[in-house]
Amino acid sequence: MFPELERILISKEKIAERVAQMGAEIGADFANRLHAEGVDARSEDSVVIVPIMAGAMIFTADLIRHIPLKLRLELLAVSSYPGTATRSKGAALMSELKADLTGKHVLIVDDILDSGRTLRLVRDLLHERGAASIRAAVLLDKQGVDRVPPPDGHEFAEHVGFEIPDAFVVGYGLDYDGCYRNLPDIGVLRT
Ligand code: 5GP
Ligand code: MG
Q: Which of 40, 62, 111, 114 is catalytic?
A: 114
Tally of CB atoms within 10 A around 62: 17
CB 174 within 8 A of CB 186: yes
Ligand 1 pocket test target in 79, 174, 189 with most atoms within 8 Å of CB = 174
CA 140/CA 138 separation, integer angstroms: 6
Q: What are phi and psi for residue 135, nearest 5 degrees?
A: -125, 160
Instruction: Give me the amino acid identity at 146.
Output: D
For the CA of 174, the closest atom of ligand 1 is 22
Residues found in the chain:
191
User: What CATH fold (topology level) applies to the domain 13-81+90-168?
Assistant: Rossmann fold (3.40.50)
Give the tens place of pLDDT for each residue, 59-96: 999 999 999 999 999 999 998 866 777 777 788 888 88
The residue whose CA is least distant from atom 5 of ligand 1 is: 114
CA 97/CA 75 separation, integer angstroms: 8
Task: Show the low-confidence residues of the chain (pLDDT under 70).
Answer: 1, 81-82
Residue 90, pLDDT score: 82
For the chain, how far is it from start to end, CA to CA, in angstroms? 17
For the CA of 115, the closest atom of ligand 1 is 4
Residue 82, pLDDT score: 66
3 state SS of 80: coil
Q: What is the DSSP letter of 31?
A: H
Residue 151, pLDDT score: 84
The residue whose CA is least distant from atom 8 of ligand 1 is: 80
Tally of CB atoms within 10 A around 94: 12
Residue 136 buriedness (CB in 10 A; 0-12 / 13-18 / 19+): buried
Q: Helices 12-35 and 57-64: crossing angle, nearest 10°? A: 60
For the CA of 168, the closest atom of ligand 1 is 19
Does 114 participate in catalysis according to the annotation?
A: yes
